[in-house]
Amino acid sequence: MIKRIFLAFLFLSLCISFISFRTGTPAATSKKQKVIKTIIVDAGHGIMPNGGHNGARGAYSYEDEICLAVSKELVKKFHAEMPEIRIVESRPTEKITPIHRRAEIANENKGDLFICIHVNAAVPIKRSELIGHKTVTYYTGKGKNRKKQTKKVPQYRTYTQPNPAKGTETYIWGSHKNEDKEVAMRENAPMLMEENYKVNYGDVDPNSPEFIALSLLKTKQFFKRSATLAGYVQDEFSRAGRVDRDVRQRGVGIWVLQATAMPSILVETGYITNRAEEDYLNSKEGQKELAGCIIRAVFNYIAWLEKQQQTSEQDNSGNNGRQATHDVSAMLHRIEELGCNRAR
């Protein structure tokens, strides 16, 4: 009798243990991991070793100054509103950080996001106007038939005026065949100024088709996330009343977007060549508003990532642990359309 009771108790204990193990396993495996642990904030440009400013210039201020001020405001907000996330500054002072080093800092710190702050610039518009006519003497014919003639030639005055371009745009690394090279050349210019350029970057042209192709293969896994975050940033700027110039892809090399192994965006916060925008970019209110828009976009991005994580977990559990597959071609096609028709 005692033996039977002992065996029954042992069997019941094993059943309880088995059930507890079965019910406990999903809870352990479905425990969410933090989707964002480290964010890299990169203040574009900076003071060169010779003391000169680097980047675009306005009527009274410089791009590197504004980039640092907005970045500091953004870092402050991150610490206050997302204290659980580690924030790393790639350019914490007014001095320039070599471009190759910015990417190294991001990768060494295993960043989950790279947010680069910049200021845009537009070339002056060339104009001309008629200011009068000038009488010009000329001759026709030869010998005895040579005759003196006169005619009035219009006189024009050429001049330039400030470009009225304004607003914000957010760039991701892409391979868009119609992208303008001028922007990339301006952003990559500091690379060429570094004394040890060949040592840091090798014999590479960041705007060459070969380098673009290699970078595309390396970073395409981050396209969707970069594009999603960029879209959220532009949405927040629009809600704040800023002119929304949309999400854009750069089809020519921008080193910090190509060399960072994480979702990366470059935010053009406004046009320093537009006097009203320059005033806004230099104001404390404007800098706080820009930083606020970006951090709200990051909150939205994190919520989107968590939703993606939850969906992935559900798909995995429904497929006996197999990874859910994604239509890569459809994703790339969607990203290609972002520049002209971003889904909101």
Query: pLDDT for 4-55, tens place per residue?
Result: 444 444 444 444 444 444 444 333 334 456 899 999 999 999 999 999 998 8
Question: Whole-prediction pTM value?
Answer: 0.69
Query: Residue 307 is which amino acid?
Result: K
Contacts of 263 (CB under 8 A, 6+ apart): 112, 113, 114, 222, 225, 226, 229
Would you list the domain boundaries of the chain? 38-121+165-336, 125-161
Element (H, E) at 281: helix 275-282
- Per the model's pLDDT, the better-predicted residue between 209 and 118 turns out to be 118
Taking each continuous run of H as one helix and of E as one strand, the counts in the chain are: 11, 8
**β pairing state of 113-120 and 264-271:** parallel
Report pLDDT digits (tens) over 279-296. 999 999 999 999 999 999
Report pLDDT digits (tens) over 148-194. 899 999 999 999 888 999 999 999 876 544 444 444 444 555 544 55
Question: The domain 38-121+165-336: what is its CATH number?
Answer: 3.40.630.40
